[in-house]
Structure 1
């Protein structure tokens, strides 16, 4: 039975403790970040099984003994560290916070993109607008302005986006090329990473990236760097503007971690426009992380948390969807799912769609 279809098996005392953890969650997040930023977890970890004293940590740190003391003591309460005698040791949770790439990327994304803006989550929920985005600028949505984000925020955003998609590439490429498409239309291609993976996998394929001007400029510059600007081209398009031309004639239309950036109504419009430009031999491949398709509860936790980034920071009206919602929209757009594959990469699902007869 999925984790969300039955009550949590937890006693009242532990449940009350979990409630207190939620109350202090912003503090524990910042403590974890500072333990990493000031290399305190790394210093303790470097001493191995013997651990190290507060004085030893202080000798290797830029912080005062007081500052280190309040951080490591909270680290004990958070389960990041354990303490025996005078020696601190890294516990299992601290180990993964220090060494797990996913944890680091998620933490940086939350800190650099989401943290300040989430203070206004309540207003975003009421208004249906990304009210938290004002911490970066007076923008309607985050997408046209990604290239204008502060460097640390831009780095964290793209690392977050690419980390999840990149893990799926090795499995996806053979699936995508089993029908030998000559022209792939990458809708919302961002910096072009998928386009370049395709051109490396198949030396004959051509890819057209459909995106907003800011992203296309970056992608086309990257195409030159990769030496494939003869096979990777750009097609400027605002998919929310019906008057904008839509690229027709693709053998395969590709949407990776893209439709979650839009509301139900917008997704339906985008799918309908795509279908209108497909031939009977074309196919549309949609790659998403649906929260109900995650193989582990931890995956669903991360995916559902990401929905609130869309609410507060990205556009105010999109989310990480339940797969049944997407399947319904695909059908309404005049398409059907010819192939449905779960557990690709880090919890991705591939939906291969075709025009209804």
Structure 2
């Protein structure tokens, strides 16, 4: 039985062959379209509007050679980014989307600045289950140890990618977070402290416990200090890959956002076990993440599924964007049961609420 997603009507053989060629030449098109965007070619055509511009008019700009224009314009034409009518080049809807859609731009930069060179090592990374492409950015066992030292523009593009999806979700879920009146909240995978800052600002009586690698917590500590919120925050430097490291206990609520996808299934199961042990008797666990199977639109599922190779080649070597059932199954192994599920948060998040079984 076919999964509902990505199961359109059967393709005709000729159309299927065309789609296959799009995949084969995908990296080429990516770079040509990116050149047209980053070098101002798309912007010039957008300014011209429906009138478009001839190649001679574009050449008069002085920004590109005649050769570069021919190569890039034709590639953009093949990708549906541009139209050509009566010898004039016109920006099509896809081109306008690249110029105006923040998510598209962030995804472009993330793929180019963080992933592209390292993805050449995807085959070896899949076989070894190690992020062998990470060497293109730095010498760390996983990307997370090197987050604070990532070179530019990879660092800015990584944080823009991460924050684009999480920042749109935090304001929406704070009522869910405090629905049970928790006073002791643990933010596991606190990163730069974005969620903790939002939670401390939302509920003046809550105490936050931030758990992450020392490098990330150093950034979070500075952000908390700058906001004047350090007094209600406790920092716990922990490497979650070290199974001997326990978490602080008696927590009313444990929060994990876009965190578990950084780990393999075995590590996720172990984290759930330690989180379950850290809960107060009536405590709960909230997991917010991007599950490709819970998306309303195929475009979101497509983007999420194709983020998984980044985790393989660049981040950890053995993690991915999971289906929601994977988390539920692994949480149940730790003695937790799913209470509720809420979809449609921000761009593409879902919220799973667990408690002791």
Distance 2:143 2:9 in 1: 36
Q: Deviation string for 1:198-234 (max 9, x for gaps)? A: 1222222221210001100011011111221122331
Matching residue of 1:41: 42
Match of residue 17 from structure 2: 16
1:106-255 matches, within 5 Å, as 106-255=107-256
- Would you say 1:99 and 2:100 are equivalent positions? yes
User: Aligned with 1:281: secondary structure?
Assistant: strand
Within 1, Cα distance between the matches of 2:29 and 2:264? Answer: 32
Q: 2:280 — aligned with what?
A: 279
Pair 1:338 & 2:334 matched: no
**Cα separation, 2, equivalents of 1:125 and 1:275:** 31
- Residues 154-194 of structure 1, C-alpha deviation per residue, up to 9 Å, x if partnerless? 11111111111111123211111122222211100111111
Bigger CA drift: 267-276 or 335-344? Answer: 335-344
CA distance in 2 between counterparts of 1:208 and 1:277 reads 12
2:86 is the counterpart of 1:85: yes
- Structure 1 residue matching 2:306: 3-state secondary structure: helix
State how far apart, in whole Å, the 1-side matches of 2:58 and 2:177 are: 51
Moved more, 54-63 or 120-129: 54-63
Query: Structure 1, residues 69-111: CA drift from partner, whole Å, max 9, x if none?
Result: 2111111111000011132111111111111111100110000
Q: Within 2, Cα distance between the matches of 1:160 and 1:187?
A: 20
Q: State the shift of 1:7 in Å.
A: 5.8
Q: Scaled by the length of structure 2, what TM-score is found?
A: 0.96
- Classify the secondary structure of the residue corresponding to 2:281: coil
Partners of 2:113 and 2:264 in 1: CA distance: 24
Instruction: Give me the whole-angstrom Cα distance separating, in 2, the residues matched to 1:187 and 1:289.
Output: 17
In structure 2, the residue corresponding to 1:184 is in which secondary structure?
Answer: strand
Deviations 1:262-308 (A, max 9, x none): 11110000000110111221111001111111111111111110111
What secondary structure does 2:311 align onto? Answer: helix
Structure 2 CA distance for aligned equivalents of residues 199 and 57 of structure 1: 53
Count of residue correspondences: 356
Separation of aligned partners in 1, 2:53 and 2:248:
61
Q: SS of the counterpart of 1:105? A: helix
Structure 1 position 61, deviation (Å): 4.9
CA RMSD of aligned residues (A): 1.4
In terms of mean alpha carbon deviation, does 246-255 or 261-270 score higher? 246-255
Distance 1:351 1:4 in 2: 22
Alpha-carbon distance, 1:39 to partner: 1.0
SS, match of residue 62 in structure 1: coil
Unaligned runs of 5+ in 1: none
Change (3 A) 1:5 1:57: closer
Contact preservation (8 Å) 1:280, 1:354: no
8 Å Cα contact 1:58-1:64 kept in structure 2:
yes
Counterpart residue number, 1:354: 355
CA–CA distance in structure 2, aligned partners of residues 127 and 298 of structure 1: 30
**Shift of residue 5 of structure 1?**
7.2
Displacement of 1:124: 0.5
* Cα distance, 1:252 vs structure 2: 1.0
Give structure 2 stretches of 5+ with no counterpart.
Answer: none
Q: Normalising by the residue count of structure 1, what TM-score does the alignment of the two structures yield?
A: 0.96
The farther-off stretch of 167-176 and 281-290 is 167-176
Q: Where do 4+ consecutive residues of structure 1 move more than 3 Å?
A: 1-9
- Is the CA contact 1:38–1:61 (under 8 Å) kept in the aligned structure 2? no
